[in-house]
Amino acid sequence: MTPSNSPTTLFASRISGTGSAFPEGRLTNQELAVRVDTSDEWIRERTGISERRIAKPGDPNEFNSSLGYRAALKALEMAGKRPEDIDQILYATCSPDTLVPSTACWLQAKLGAKRAWAVDINAACSGFLYGLSMADTFVRAGQSKTILVVGAEVLSSFVNWEDRTSCILFGDAAGAAIVERTSSDSPQRILSSHLHSDGTLTDLLGMPAGGSRSPVTADTIALKQNFLQMKGREVFKVAVKTLADFAQTAIETNGFKAEDIDWFIPHQANLRIIEAVANRLDFPMEKVLLNVERYGNTSAATVPTMLDEAVRDGRIKPGHLVLLDVFGAGLTYGSILMRW
């Protein structure tokens, strides 16, 4: 686990702009129930999801980087920055435009962010927090002033649409944040970040083929090994425990109590997971921000899209304590506490 934010540095970082973007196409539970043996009632009861957005395959306006581009433009506008101001682009995704080059570079070209260096981060659903934590570290180290962090997925391209245990969960979206330098005594800043991975649990969730371990062949395609596979029940159990533990760590490290937190944004994989975590933390659901019903699990995009929505509709106000908390394939985990 990384240590939390050191108070001894000159600089701190804060988010000065957020943005999000979604594909146009909606896929409801009822429509899914025509494709696989499931029902609207089962999906809503077990996951809290009613519909999700799905990118149109091959539509250049709905490539991963195109959604990231729209989200980034909105974040830049809110922050009052131009693409040329960006020092770094950290692009969290596990469903890239292409394996090579990175989606970050596709986005850089679209934005015309000529001064930036750009790189993808793959920590699955935890990616946005990994990116935000790295951005915070680069800014505190004095290396960068303005960093664009994106969490974006088009997982619909990697889902087995015949597997009812996984295809009901995922949706496509992009969220973005501009992370800027501020002074270390500024009240509005990222207060701490805690990240961890457990590579012994790689078999719980992943895509077995399509990489160098198992290159794409007619057989891997026939066996559907190029698509996401998941041991849902096991993931569920680990998710509840780790989300609760990482939230608790963030709160305690900073000397707060659960009641001090104004808003809790957990990874939106499943409403039942979120309710179980809130219950463990004795945290009221009224302070938990939720978009899982409308968008499903958008992986690295769940936290930044939810953050953007709540900033824009005025629920998150300056001075609020906001706790971000995630888990994802790897497995990967993390929490970030910030004063907005």
Note the residues at the interface with ligand ACO (CB under 6 A). 38, 42, 46-47, 124-125, 164-165, 168-169, 205, 230, 232-233, 235-236, 239, 269-270, 297, 299, 328-329
What is the 3-state secondary structure of 193-218? EEEEECHHHHHHEECCCCCCCCCCCH
Instruction: Please give the positions annotated as active site.
Output: 125, 267, 297
- CB nearer to ligand ACO: pick between 66 and 299: 299
Which among 155, 131, 171, 193 has a CA at the least distance from the CA of 5? 193
- CB nearer to ligand ACO: pick between 101 and 232: 232
CB of 45 to ligand ACO, least distance (A): 9
Token digits of residue 77: 């506008």
- CB nearer to ligand ACO: pick between 55 and 105: 55
Q: Cα dist. 309→43, 155, 174 in Å?
A: 24, 21, 12
CB of 272 to ligand ACO, least distance (A): 7
CB of 233 to ligand ACO, least distance (A): 4
- CB nearer to ligand ACO: pick between 16 and 297: 297
Instruction: Enumerate residues 6+ apart whose C-beta is below 8 A from 19.
Output: 70, 71, 72, 73, 74, 75, 76, 77, 78, 175, 176, 177, 308
Question: Does the CA dihedral 298-133-206-266 come out positive or negative?
Answer: negative
Token digits of residue 285: 């659901």
- Eight-state DSSP code of residue 100: S
Burial of residue 232 (number of CB atoms within 10 Å: 0-12, 13-18, 19+): middle
CB of 234 to ligand ACO, least distance (A): 8
- CB nearer to ligand ACO: pick between 165 and 220: 165
CB of 168 to ligand ACO, least distance (A): 5
The residues pairing with 207 across neighbouring beta strands, listed in sequence order, are none
